[in-house]
Structure 1
Amino acid sequence: MAGTASPAAGYGPDGVYRSPRPAAAIASDPELSLVDLVLRRAAACPDAPALVDAATGRVLTFGDLRSDVLSAAAALSSRAGVRRGDAVLILAPNCVLYPVCFLAVAALGAIPTTANPLYTEREIAKQAADARAKLVVTVAGLLPKVASLRLPTILLDGGGDGASRQPNVTLYSDLVAGVQETEYRRPPTRQGDTAALFYSSGTTGESKGVVLTHGNFIAAATMVTSDQEDNGEGHNVFLCFLPMFHIFGMSVITLGQLQRGNTIVVMSGFDMDAVLAAVERHRVTYLFSAPPVMVALAKHGSGGRYDLSSLRCIGSGAAPLGKEIMEAVAEKFPYAEIIQVRSIYTQQSLHASSFWLVILLLQGYGMTETSGIISLENLQKGRPRHSGSTGQLVTGVEAKIVDSETMEHLPPNQQGEICVRGPNIMKGYFNNVQATEFTIKQGWLHTGDLGYFDERGQLYVVDRLKELIKYKGFQIAPAELEGLLESHAEILEAIAIPCPDPEAGEVPIAYVVRSPKSSLSEVDVQKFIENQVAYYKRLRMVKFVDSIPKSPSGKKLRRELIAQLRLSKL
C-alpha cells in the first residue's frame, strides 16, 4: 500500500518514485537501431574525432567510424558467414577496433557477446557455449584461450608467430581488405531486437547472459548524456581505460558518448603516467576509473609534470570508494569535479598544483541489467552534496522501494528492496526463464539491493540483498566458487563469502568441510581454485569447519557467516 505522496521526492500516491530531471526525448522510431543512433553522427560531424588510440595517436573520425563499421559488417557477412541472430564472442583488450567490431556485428542483426580477457579457458568456453557463439574476435595473445572452442576466429592484431596461419584463423585486415561500405545491406532491425549479450551474475547465482535490446542501449545513451545537454555542455573528451567488455565501459562511456558526438580516447589498460599524458595530449574533460586507480591517483606525486587543466570530472565506478580517498584525489586535482559512480555491473581525475577547491563528490548507480544506469547526481545541480547518495533517478527511470517480505511500497526514508523500470531494463536472461521471472516481476526489475529515497528524491544504496562478492568492481558469484570447491573429491561442503579488504573492497574467502580422512591444506584448496578461475576469483583465505550453517530448509546461511566475520574484525 502506497504512503502519502511526497512531490519533492518524486514520490507519488501510487508508491512510485519518478525522476525530477527534465524529460528527455528518447528516440521512439521502432526501426531505429543502436548502430543507426551512433553512426548518424557521421552526417552531422564527419570530420570530428570519434575514437582516438592513446598509444599511437591513430584517429577515427565519425566519417571513418561509419565507413569502418559498415565495411566490417559487409565483410563479416560475405566472408565470415555471420548471419542475423548469430552470437559473436569478442575477447580482447580495449582498442579502437573493439567498438568497430561490436557495432559491425550488431549492424548485421547478429549479437556481440563480450568476455573478460582475464577469464580462464574454462570460463570462456562456458560463456561461448551458453551464448551459442558462432565466431570469435580476439587478439593473438589470447588465441590459446579460445583454441579449444574450434570456432572460426578473427584476429584484430597482426597475429605474430604464425598465428594467422592456424586453421580457422583470419586477420581482421585480410577480412576487410577491399570491402566497401556500399556492400553493406541493412537487415530489418527493430528497437525490440536483441543488440548484445553481456554476462552478469545478476541478483544471485552464477553468471547469466543479459539480453539487451537496441532500444535498451538507445534509452541508456540518452539517459547518461542528458545532464550534459541540460547543463549546456559542449563537446567532451572521455578517456576510456575501463574495459569495453563491461557494461560501464561499453554502454555508459563508449556508446553513450559517441552517440552524442563526444570523443573517446581509448587505452588498453591503466598506467599512471600514460593516463596523465593522455589527458594532457588529448585535452580530456571526463575520466572514469575504479577504486584501485583512485588509490593510485591519491598516492601519485608526478601530476605536476602534466597540464591537466582540461579535466572537468573524475569518476570512480564499479565499487564503493571511501571519502578519504576521494578527498585525497581532490586535493591533487583542483580543476576537476569528483564523482563516485557506485555500480553493480555488472558493471569503468586529475593532477595540478594544490590551491583552493570546492569538492563536489557525486555518485551514481546502475547494473548490467539496466544497461549501466539507474541514478546519478548532477554535476551542476543538487548542491550541497547529499553525502552517500547515488543521486536522483535518471530521466525515464521509475523506482519503488518495497518491503522484501510484504512487498508493500515504502515512502521516503524507509529502507527496502530497490525495484526499477524503464526503457533501459533488459529483456531478460538468455535461455533462463526461471532467473528472468525471479528478477523481473510485473514489469519491475528487482535489483536485490537494499536502499531508500530521502525527502529530496536522493537514492541511497545501503546494502546488498544479493550475495555477490565485489572485488575491485569485478563480480564474483559465490555459487560458482562453491560448485568448484564441492567438485573436489575431499570436500563435502563449502560456502564462499566476501571479506572486507581496504584496497579491493571485498575478497572471496571460503569455509570448507573436508571429508573425514582428508589432509587437505588451505594452500591445496587455494591452488585447486586458482587453476580454474580468473585471478580476482582466487580464494584469499580458507577456513576448515565441521559444518556449514543452514536454515531449516537447507539453505546455506551465508549472511550469518558474513555477520560473524564482521564482528570478528571490529
Structure 2
Amino acid sequence: MATAAADPRSGYCAATGAFRSKRAEVPLPADRDLDVVTFLASRRHSGVVALVDASTGRRTTFAELWRAVAGAATALAAPPFGLRKGHVALILSPNSVHFPVAALAAMSLGAVVTTANPLNTAAEIAKQVADARPVLAFTTRDLLPKLPRAADGLRVVLLESSSSPAPAGAADPRIVATIDEISATAPDPARRRDRVTQDDQATLLYSSGTTGPSKGVVATHRNLISMVQIVMNRFRLEDSDTTETFLCTVSMFHVYGLVAFATGLLGCGATIVVLSKFELPEMLRCISAYGVTYLPLVPPILVAMVAHPKPLPLGNLRKVLSGGAPLSKELIEGFREKYPQVEILQGYGLTESTAIGASTDSAEESRRYGTAGLLSPNTEAKIVDPETGEALPVNRTGELWIRGPYVMKGYFNNTEATQSTVTPDGWLKTGDLCYIDEDGYLFVVDRLKELIKYKGYQCPQQSWKLFC
C-alpha cells in the first residue's frame, strides 16, 4: 500500500494517482507456510452446524466437516489416487454439501482445484480438461458422460452418497470411490505432507478474462486467505454472538460461490444451507424452514420479488446480497417498500480479483444509487485514461485498475495474456470503464473490451453495454 497522504473523503492521493480504500484494513497472516484449509480449520468460533442439504435436511456439523475433510485428504493422498501438490483436481457438480469437502480436501494436499459449469457442453468441458490436465475428477453420475473418456488416467470420485443406487448398466471403470467412502477414511496424522505455502497455487478457475476466449485464472492460497478475511469482515461475523444462516443460491463453481460458500464462511461459524437448483418456491421454503438470515441473489430475482402481487414470506431474513449488475434506484426503493425489514447489499468483482473488489455493506451505502460500493479493505484503485495511460482524479471516467492481496497470480500457461492484464507492480486491469466519486464510491459505466455480462457471467460479444 502507498503511504502518501490521501483525501479522507474520496481516498484519492494526488501524489500517486491512486485511490485507497476507505475501509479499515483487515489483518492477514504473516506465516508463509500456511494453506487456506489450515487457516480456516484453525479459526475459533461458536458455530455448530456448518452445512445443511436443503433437499434432505441433512446437517453436517463443523466437527463432522473437518473430520470428513481430513479423512478424504488421507484417502486422496494414498493409492490409487496419489494426489500431490501441483496436481489438478476437477470438480464438475451442481451445488452440494459434498462440494466443500472435495475442494478443501484437495487444496489441503496442495492440489489445485479447477471447477466447471455443469451446464457446459461435453466439448467445452473437454477443452478445459485438455488445458488443465486434471488427474482426478469429482462429479455426479448424471454428469459423468460429459467427462472426456480420452483423458489419460482420469480417476473419478462420485459426489453422491454411497447409498445412492446406481442405475443398471451404469458401471464406469473410471469410478474409484464415492465422496462418502473417502470421507470415512481414518485420518492419518503421521502421513507425509507436502509443504504448502501461501504462494502456492490453490485454484484454477476459467473466465473470459478481460477479452477473448476462456482463460484459466490462477489464484494462490494467499489470494484465497485474503478474500476470506474480506468476506468475514464484510458480514461482521467474527465478533457476533449470533449464528448467521446463509442460503447458497450462487454456483459453487463460480468464484464468489467457491470463495464464500465452499471456503470462507466455513471459517467463522456461519451455517450454509445448500440449494442444488434455484426455484423461487424452494427458496422461500428454505428461508422459512432453516431460519435463513442472509440471501445472495442476482437482480432478476429481486425484480421478481418486487413484481409479486403481495410481499413474499421472508421469515427471519435480514439481508440480501446482489451481484452481477448494479441495482437501479427504482428497484432498490421498490424492494425496500415491499420488504422494509431486509437490507440490500451489493458487490463488484471478477474471477481475476478472487471475487469482491468493491461493495456496499449497509443500507445507507446502498442508497448511493447505481454504485458498486466502496473499495474492499486492503485495496487500491486507479482510474486510467485508456488512450494516454494517465491516472485520473475523482469523477473522471477511465479504465479501473485495482491492486490488493487477492489479485490473481496470472493466467494459466498464458504469459502474454497475463502481462497485458497485470502490470509488473501488481495492478489488475479490469477492462471496466468506471469513475470514483468525491466520497469514494465506485461506479461502473461501461466495458472497455468487447464483453457483456449476462446473469453475472462474462460473455464475448461484438457490441454491448455491461449493465442493461
Q: Same fold (TM over 0.5)?
A: yes
- Counterpart for residue 82 of structure 2: 81
Deviation at 1:419, TM superposition (A): 0.4
Deviation at 1:281, TM superposition (A): 1.5
Q: 1:44 to 1:376 in 2, by over 3 A?
A: closer
**Distance (Å, rounded) in 2 between the aligned partners of 1:96 and 1:399:** 36
Q: Which runs of 5 or more structure 2 residues have no equivalent in the other structure?
A: none
State whether structure 2 residue 437 is matched by structure 1 residue 454: yes
Deviation at 1:301, TM superposition (A): 5.0
Deviation at 1:444, TM superposition (A): 0.7
**Distance (Å, rounded) in 2 between the aligned partners of 1:367 and 1:260:** 24
- Aligned residues of 1:39 and 1:62 also touching (Cα < 8 A): no
Q: 1:63 to 1:5 in 2, by over 3 A?
A: closer
Deviation at 1:186, TM superposition (A): 3.7
- Counterpart for residue 274 of structure 1: 282
**Distance (Å, rounded) in 1 between the aligned partners of 2:145 and 2:110:** 29
- Counterpart for residue 319 of structure 1: 325
Deviation at 1:393, TM superposition (A): 0.9
Deviation at 1:92, TM superposition (A): 0.4
Listed as ranges, the matches of 1:211-360 within 5 Å are: 211-229=218-236, 233=240, 234-301=242-309, 304=312, 306=313, 308-339=314-345
**Coordinate RMSD, CA, aligned:** 2.4
- Supply the AA of the counterpart residue of 2:104: L
From 374, 379, 401, the equivalent of 2:383 is: 401
Between the aligned residues of both structures, percent identity stands at 44
Structure 1: 4+ residue segments shifted above 6 A: none
- Aligned residues of 2:238 and 2:268 also touching (Cα < 8 A): no
- Aligned residues of 1:193 and 1:214 also touching (Cα < 8 A): yes
CA deviation map 1:382-412 (0-9, x unaligned): 48x2221111111101111111111111111
Deviation at 1:28, TM superposition (A): 2.0
Higher relative contact order (CA 8 A, sep 6+): 2
From 209, 216, 229, the equivalent of 2:216 is: 209
- Supply the AA of the counterpart residue of 1:50: A
Listed as ranges, the matches of 1:527-546 within 5 Å are: none
| Matched residue SS, 2:147 | helix
Q: What is the aligned length?
A: 455
CA deviation map 1:61-106 (0-9, x unaligned): 1111111111111111213222221111110000000011011110
Q: TM-score, structure 2 length as denominator?
A: 0.91
**Distance (Å, rounded) in 1 between the aligned partners of 2:45 and 2:444:** 40
State whether structure 2 residue 25 is matched by structure 1 residue 49: no
**Distance (Å, rounded) in 1 between the aligned partners of 2:228 and 2:373:** 18
From 15, 18, 28, the equivalent of 1:16 is: 18
Deviation at 1:163, TM superposition (A): 6.5
- Counterpart for residue 452 of structure 2: 469
Q: TM-score, structure 1 length as denominator?
A: 0.75
More helix by share: 1
| Matched residue SS, 2:429 | strand
Q: 1:166 to 1:376 in 2, by over 3 A?
A: same
| Matched residue SS, 1:449 | strand
- Counterpart for residue 30 of structure 2: 28
State whether structure 2 residue 185 is matched by structure 1 residue 170: no
**Distance (Å, rounded) in 2 between the aligned partners of 1:376 and 1:163:** 50
- Counterpart for residue 414 of structure 2: 432
- Counterpart for residue 393 of structure 2: 411
Q: Larger Rg: 1 or 2?
A: 1
From 355, 370, 374, the equivalent of 1:388 is: 370
Q: 1:180 to 1:162 in 2, by over 3 A?
A: farther
- Supply the AA of the counterpart residue of 1:27: P
| Matched residue SS, 1:8 | coil
- Counterpart for residue 377 of structure 1: 360
**Distance (Å, rounded) in 2 between the aligned partners of 1:31 and 1:262:** 26
| Matched residue SS, 1:133 | coil
Deviation at 1:378, TM superposition (A): 2.2
| Matched residue SS, 1:148 | coil
- Aligned residues of 1:243 and 1:249 also touching (Cα < 8 A): yes
**Distance (Å, rounded) in 2 between the aligned partners of 1:101 and 1:143:** 16
| Matched residue SS, 2:106 | helix
- Counterpart for residue 567 of structure 1: none
- Supply the AA of the counterpart residue of 1:28: A
**Distance (Å, rounded) in 1 between the aligned partners of 2:324 and 2:421:** 21
Deviation at 1:4, TM superposition (A): 10
**Distance (Å, rounded) in 2 between the aligned partners of 1:277 and 1:456:** 40
| Matched residue SS, 1:105 | helix
- Aligned residues of 2:70 and 2:183 also touching (Cα < 8 A): no
